[in-house]
Amino acid sequence: MSEPIPAGMAMPEGDPTSAMIPPGALKIGPYILERTLGVGSFGKVKAGRHMHSQHEVAVKILNRQKIRMLDMTQKVHREILILRLLNHKHVVKLYEVIETPTDIYVVMEYISRGELFDHIVEHGRLSEDDARRYFQQLIGGVEYCHRHMIIHRDLKPENLLLDHEDNIKIADLGLANVSRDGEFLKTSCGSPNYAAPEVISGKPYAGPEVDVWSCGVILYALLCGSLPFDDESIAALFRRIKSGQYQTPSYLSRDARELIARMLDVDPLRRVTIPEIRKHPWFVKNLPRYLALPPPLIYNRTLAVNPVLLAECARITGHTTEEIRWMLEHGKRNACTVVFEQLKDGRTRMDPSMLQPVDVGALLAAPGLASLHGAHAVGGETTSKRVKDQEMNDGHAQHALGNDGRQAPAGADDGGEPDDGDNASSGLPTLPASLISPRRFHVGVRNDYLDPKNIMEEVFRALSVLKWRAKAPSTYQVRVVTGDGTQVPGQAGAVLLNLQLYRTESHFVLDIAMIEGDVFSYVAACHALVSEARIQ
């Protein structure tokens, strides 16, 4: 399932390490698999090492026959696809998937220190500072998943791993689901002790709020060394969860008690949201800079390709640095880019300044930061906004080509200074807050600092880079077919999208609506467009 390397760019043959396979070890692709780390429903999880990069990995071996017998093909497919979409410091990384006729080998980041559950069992309740550090990392990872419309649904200390630097890694996304536009989830899944009342009651739920409840149970376990809801009888346990009754130890600080209570509110509409958690006094204390900075600034710091790692990857793989850079820039997933990713993960360390606590108020008050990234900083709202489904505008407008040959919205050749918000947005559909529908939604990207002309210019630039077919029925609306131009929507992963720019009272929202296609391809298309377009 990795992309092949183009002709003339194959990995070097006859590497001497290929002959150095220990007795009893198993060779799969470029990996040597040795000791068993654990045993799951479908097979073993083994520790492995890449023969070229020497990077240690964890390989989940999924037996095809067992998957079919347990009728879990969809679950396995979903977990692999979701892992492909995610790349975050506090989410376990997927490197590649190797398939054989009998097994599927899922090659993932190796997390050396085991489960957070074992840490709690060994050490008991943690100090508020230690618990806060883990909790901040957990919320950072969960928020990232939610921004990509991924709901974990089985968050618990057993699914939170600790790496060699004592950092949280969210794992086991087998029960995760994609939050489809405006649809409620109904599946009752996850571990009963960590499940929200609406989940065990079989009521429809939107998704993010059930992860917030589970995070509240985890926070309680970190601070108290026990669970807020526990009983040998499942029926009694469910009664406790539905009532929301639990004991709060007196040694907890007032802020900690208040935050837990808001997370364990049995009413999902009253339950605190992740943006509200990020504002909470208990959460922001000693918050590391990398978790406080707006996502766009973090991404910009990591976009540059380290020339030392490039040279090392070139030495190992036999490719030129230019070839490797090209593959990385074009998002290729193959043996060469996997080596680069593993080298980067094994040797790159975050700038120590990013780990230092930051004064959130002072950070947001920095010149230009609040105005440019307020929606993404701590205390702001999430990037993905849900906006009401609107009837598509059937009007037609001609669009001029910019100097680089891409389509640009009408009026983009003005050449003058950007208009102010009111003038620039004339003709834009308005989206009053009162029109938000509780039933059907689309995902949208909010922007607080660009004018509509610049937003549409950036959208067309991104579409040009992605090589997607586009047609503009009106100035602020674009219909898009993803893929290389040969696929039909609904086939081979192609999706028909409608992009519509809306105006609210204080900002603009680019709505990304799926007209035709499957949800997984839609999520992948949203991820590609939002990653390429610099409008967040």
What is the set of active-site residues? Answer: 154
Residues that constitute the known binding site for ATP = 60
With residue 109 as reference, give the H or E element that holds it: strand 103-109
User: CB count, 10 Å around CB of 48?
Assistant: 27
Phi-psi region of 35 (alpha: psi -120 to 50; beta: other; left: phi over 0): beta
Q: Nearest 5°: phi and psi at 310?
A: -60, -45
Which residues, including other chains, have CB under 8 Å from residue 164's CB and lie 6 or more apart?
112, 113
Q: What gap in Å lies between CA 177 and CA 196, rounded to an integer?
A: 16
* C-alpha dihedral (309, 314, 319, 321), degrees to nearest 10: 50
Show Cβ contacts of residue 446 under 8 Å, excluding neighbours closer than 6 positions: 375, 381, 383, 385, 507, 508, 509
d(CA 527, CA 81): 12
Closest CA to 129 of 282, 251, 358: 282
Q: How far is CA 446 from CA 193, 385, 425, 519, in A?
A: 36, 6, 15, 21
CA distances from 248 to 231, 307, 466 (A): 17, 53, 52
Please name the residue that has the structure tokens 């990013």: 354
Question: Strand, coil or helix: what is 94?
Answer: strand
- Tell me how far apart the alpha carbons of residues 477 and 513 are, in angstroms, rounded to a whole number: 11
What residues are designated binding site?
60
Residues 2 and 335: beta-carbon distance below 8 Å = yes
Alpha carbons 115 and 161: distance in angstroms, whole number = 4
β-sheet bridge partners, residue 511: 444, 500
* CA dist., res. 333 & res. 356, Å (int): 34
